Amino acid sequence: MKRFNIEIDTNIVKNPNCDRCVRSELRHTDKDDLCKKIKSVVDKLPVRCVGDWANDKIYYLLQYFQIFTKGMAKKWGKLRYVEVCSGPGRCSTRDGNEQDGTALAIVKNDLFDLLSDAIFIDYSPRVVETLSKRFEAVGKSARAHALVGDYNDSSSIIKALKEYSPNALTLCFIDPTDCSVPFDTIRDIFNVTQGKCDLLISFFDGLDFHRNSVNATLNPSYTRLQKKYARFLGTPDFFTRKEIVEAALANKYSDLSQMFRQHYADKLNALGLSYQDWKPIKNFYHLLYASSNSRGLDFWKKATKYDPIGQAELNLEL
């Protein structure tokens, strides 16, 4: 894939056994969200099915990673990368191809060796074992640590942050598939790093919250989703607020999504993460960048000035 600032090689190859399952109900996934039908044609290890927009996410992440490491390695000393919801390292993109995911793309990047440590966390022991094998295959297992952890209980993540390069400046990428990471976990990660942490979050307001927002506000049968979003925001009374109820009654889905994003932004700001930017990934979700330092935001703006095909983008407000 040719990009504006960097050449990204995610080792894209055809997988002839892929069924190209577009709809979720047709996918051959197991309890670890790995495909039961195919293995990687590169290393015969499991793969995870993802959307075709994964390339955009990898592009922006690697652009920022390169600027972050180049800009801060000499000035700060120790740098650390953390990824929550890492996946197995290779993924199928529903178009008959497979490629490196974010974790393997970071580890194989030329600037990875500027890091003191990199921590990759997934809830599945099988996924973690698979990712560890891939790190070993590229000779990076000394610095790349694949660990089991659950973002619903931040203790395992905090333990890892205390163990590996605890005083390092940290870039933390949180990459779930919906709005389910509790805000308490975000707070705990930021606090344990003593504020020396830039956050990049896959914020699924499009695929998840937008389609459910009216029902989550008004429909009693959606109580489970309402609780999930409330934990995600760290605000139990979000759906009872007058402006939220009024927007739901008027079926103003876009207004609800905007207020959802703004409320999350306000919560980050209260932590001290006041330098923020939202990068849309097609119409599906946003990459949310948040830092306590204005220079971090300058780096992010530089990294995302051009889209993955080299076209300058408009500077739109949240």
Percent of the chain whose predicted confidence (pLDDT) is above 70: 92
pLDDT at 286 over 70: yes
261 part of a folded domain: no
Percent of the chain whose predicted confidence (pLDDT) is above 90: 75
* C-alpha closest to that of 84 among 66, 68, 64, 102: 102
**Full-model pTM:** 0.92
Structural domain span for residue 65: 13-175
- What is the per-residue pLDDT for 74? 84
101 part of a folded domain: yes
**Domain count for the chain:** 1
297 part of a folded domain: no
Distance of CA 112 to the CA centre of its chain: 18
Measured in Å, how far apart are the chain's first and last C-alpha atoms?
Answer: 29
* Tokens encoding 198: 């830039």
Helices (H) and strands (E) in the chain, counts: 10, 11
21 part of a folded domain: yes
Determine contact, residues 103/61, Cβ cutoff 8 Å: no
7 part of a folded domain: no
Q: Would you put residue 18 in left (φ > 0), alpha (ψ -120 to 50) or beta?
A: beta
pLDDT at 28 over 80: no
Please count the other Cβ atoms lying within 10 Å of the Cβ belonging to residue 91.
25
CA angle 131, 133, 139 (to 5 degrees): 105
161-172: b or e for each residue (b if 16 or more CB lie within 10 Å)?
Answer: beebbeebbbbb
188 part of a folded domain: no
**Domain CATH code at residue 77:** 3.40.50
276 part of a folded domain: no
At residue 20, φ and ψ (nearest 5 deg) are 55, 55
pLDDT tens string 253-281:
999 999 999 999 999 999 999 999 999 98
* C-alpha closest to that of 274 among 295, 290, 258, 296: 290
267 part of a folded domain: no
